[in-house]
Amino acid sequence: MTKQNIEHLKQLLSTPKDIVIVSHKNPDGDAIGSSLGLYHFLKKYNHKVTVIMPNDYPDFLKWMPDETVILKHDSQTKESNAIIQKAEIIFTLDFNALNRSGNMETVLGESNGLKIMIDHHQKPDGYATYTFSDVNMSSTCEMVYDFIDLLGELKNINSNIATCLYTGIMTDTGSFRFPSTTSKTHQVIAHLIEKGANNAQIHNNIYDTNSYERLQLLGCALNNLKVIPESRTAYIVLSQEELNKYNYKKGDTEGVVNYGLSLNNVVLSAIFIEDKQEGIVKISLRSKGAFSVNEFSRAHFNGGGHTNAAGGKSDLSLSDTIEKFISILPKYNKALNNE
Ligand code: 5GP
Ligand code: MN
């Protein structure tokens, strides 16, 4: 983002505009946090702002300030499309390719609204007029903070903005422990607490609202955990039947993949979750060190993400997907054992 770009954006935002903010399918804490953080910021300047997500998200994100204003494109398609079609500015947050927005891809691609991408995923597509992309950033929320800084508006961060941005930085950094967490991330967090983010309450809202069934499902997942020592890999499989047994709800498996990585000597962890309704297996991958699950997922599972955290999907059956995964791994044994 050049100085000239920022000056142009300042100019653009100096009069009220019709603005839409969108994020990726299956939104997480960073997607909702960055979108609502930016929403609260822009609302202060009398813009008309609409936040639209491709689909629903877990209950543990449904306490964030003004969360209820969010439109869900899959159940509010007509209304969402009409708003996107007449938007003057469209912020696309926490994703780097329009197909990550699910069924919004076409309407976003066709809209004449000026597009501004703020994102930290690798290899951004070129669809936006302004691309604010930095793969070294902890989170899109930290980038929205920097964006507000570049506009010279840090002084105007209020407690709603601070709460939303804190949440996404916290969830995307695994509570400030992933390598993407820098001293500057902590400085941003400190400032957000000063501006009114209630850190203890936010942690509680996100992490301490488990249902009994969710913990039972975690128990089932840990029971299913398998290790392939020669590939320093751990993986978990959850079938649709198991999910049904524990009354699975969106978000119930969030973070489960990290348990594999907590094993001594494991550098690659995967979870395979059967989704019979969509006819796919959803895959989450995590790694330690230089082994890139982003590359791995792009090469084999139609996905992407970051070096150490990526996702993807498979159209094969659950057992065929696992078979594929296990058959690919030996090719990577050398890289995995160099970690
Ligand atoms: P998670 O495993 O938590 O769903 O996602 C980890 C990271 O990978 C996130 O940054 C997410 O945006 C990205 N990701 C997850 N699923 C996909 C996918 O299907 N395609 C791509 N390109 N990225 C994904
Ligand atoms: Mn993110």
- pLDDT for residue 274: 98
Residues 21 and 145 in one domain: yes
User: Which residues are CB-neighbours of 159 under 8 A, at least 6 positions away?
Assistant: 195, 196, 197
Last residue of some domain: 175, 207, 239?
A: 207
CATH at 330: 3.10.310.30
CATH at 203: 3.90.1640.10
Residues 201 and 219 in one domain: no
How does the average pLDDT of the chain come out, rounded? Answer: 97
Q: How many CB atoms lie within 10 A of CB 262?
A: 9
Residues 242 and 303 in one domain: yes
Rounded-to-integer distance, Cα 22 and Cα 70, Å:
10
Residues 28 and 170 in one domain: yes
Residues 199 and 262 in one domain: no
Q: Which ligand is nearest to the CA of 169?
A: 2
Domain count along the chain: 2
Residue nearest to atom 12 of ligand 1 (CA): 305
pLDDT tens digits for 132-170?
999 999 999 999 999 999 999 999 999 999 999 999 999
Q: What is the dihedral of CA 84, 101, 276, 232, to 10 degrees?
A: -170
Q: Would you call 133 helix, strand, or coil by DSSP? A: strand
Residue type, 146: D
Residues 194 and 220 in one domain: no
137 and 143 in contact (C-beta within 8 Å)?
Answer: yes
137 and 125 in contact (C-beta within 8 Å)?
Answer: no
CA of 31 to the centre of ligand 2 (A): 6
pLDDT over 90 at 261, yes or no: yes
Last residue of some domain: 154, 185, 207?
A: 207
Residue nearest to atom 14 of ligand 1 (CA): 311
Residues 220 and 115 in one domain: no
| Bridge partner residues of 117 (DSSP) | 92, 131
Per-residue pLDDT band at 24 (split at 50, 70, 90) = very high
Q: Would you call 110 helix, strand, or coil by DSSP? A: helix
pLDDT tens digits for 186-234?
999 999 999 999 999 999 999 999 999 999 999 999 999 999 999 999 9
Q: Would you call 115 helix, strand, or coil by DSSP? A: strand
Considering only residues 82 and 3, tell me which one the structure prediction assigns the higher pLDDT: 82
Q: Which ligand is nearest to the CA of 100?
A: 1
Helix 140-150 × helix 183-194 angle, to 10°? 70
Residues 183 and 132 in one domain: yes
Last residue of some domain: 154, 181, 207?
A: 207
pLDDT over 80 at 20, yes or no: yes
Q: Is the CB of 250 under 6 A from ligand 1?
A: no
- pLDDT for residue 154: 98
pLDDT over 90 at 39, yes or no: yes
Q: Would you call 311 helix, strand, or coil by DSSP? A: strand
Q: Which ligand is nearest to the CA of 34?
A: 2
pLDDT over 80 at 57, yes or no: yes
- pLDDT for residue 320: 98
Per-residue pLDDT band at 3 (split at 50, 70, 90) = confident
State the residue range of the domain holding 104: 3-207
Q: How many CB atoms lie within 10 A of CB 140?
A: 32
CA of 139 to the centre of ligand 2 (A): 5
Residues 76 and 96 in one domain: yes
Ligand 1 site-directed mutation target among 28, 169, 314, most atoms within 8 Å of CB: 28
Residues 94 and 178 in one domain: yes
Rounded-to-integer distance, Cα 213 and Cα 289, Å:
34
**Closest-CA residue to 296 (of 315, 17, 279, 307):** 307
CA of 271 to the centre of ligand 2 (A): 19
Residues 203 and 218 in one domain: no
Q: Would you call 13 helix, strand, or coil by DSSP? A: coil
Length of the chain: 339
- pLDDT for residue 339: 76
User: Which parts of the chain fold into alpha helices (H)?
Assistant: 3-12, 29-43, 77-85, 105-110, 140-150, 159-172, 183-194, 199-207, 212-224, 240-245, 257-261, 293-300, 318-328, 333-337
Q: Is the CB of 181 under 6 A from ligand 1?
A: no
Q: How many CB atoms lie within 10 A of CB 259?
A: 18
- pLDDT for residue 257: 98
- pLDDT for residue 18: 98
Residues 318 and 243 in one domain: yes
pLDDT over 80 at 1, yes or no: no
**Residue 253 token pair:** 């498996």
- pLDDT for residue 2: 82
